[in-house]
Amino acid sequence: MRVTLKSGIIFAFGWILIKLSMFGMGVSSADSLKPSVLLNMLFLILAVTVGLYLQKRNDSEGGSALKDIKNGMTAGLPYAVLVSLFIYIYYAKVDPDYIQGKLADTEIELSKVMKNPKDYQKLKDSNPDFEVMNDKQITKAVLKNSRSAYNPKSTAIMALSAMILYALLNSIFITIILRKLVFKQTQK
């Protein structure tokens, strides 16, 4: 197995273990969301950096920048796929209460908006379809959109898309940094 692939898998399982540990210690998903996202970003950077560094160090021939970016993505893609699959399973089976809580928060916020005439008018103006709907139909439409946005499948797909893009950008930047700073002498 390639060292870049191992790097992505190891860091993905590391993040998964941390997320499950937080859940096991009783830290709610709402409280751990920001730290989890930041750790996820850090671990993705580390997966790409460590994998690319080890691959580049073991590489006997120089290689091109495009090859280095591809090697970086070889670490980033398995990380993104494994973490996204875990996110789907986590929010569908392990902690479905988080999504239910977010939907309840949306309902409470929507009821406040519906009671305030100024906010209600802003809501109606935000979507042309709302002009011909009554209050119950608007509430139903907004909650339907919230349910589709907060379901585990949508969350996992958005996470996968974001992590793939983030892995690509990191592969480019880390390739530049490693080529210009770390492996500067071996490139000549």
Angle between helices 117-126 and 96-115 (to 10 degrees): 110
Which residues are within 8 A (CB) of 148 and not within 5 positions of it... i.e. 6 or more apart? 154
Query: Which among 70, 79, 71 is positioned nearest to 45, based on CA atoms?
Result: 79
pLDDT score recorded for residue 49: 95
Please count the structural domains in the chain.
1
pLDDT score recorded for residue 12: 97
CA dist 158 and 152 (Å) reads 10
Domain extent, residue 28, equals 3-187
Question: How many Å from the N-terminal Cα to the C-terminal Cα in the chain?
Answer: 29
pLDDT bin (cut points 50, 70, 90) of residue 185 is low
76-112 per-position pLDDT tens digit: 999 999 999 999 999 999 888 888 888 888 888 888 8
- The pTM of the full predicted model, rounded to 2 decimals, is 0.83
pLDDT at 169 over 80: yes
**Count of all residues that appear for the chain in the document:** 188
CA dist 111 and 137 (Å) reads 13
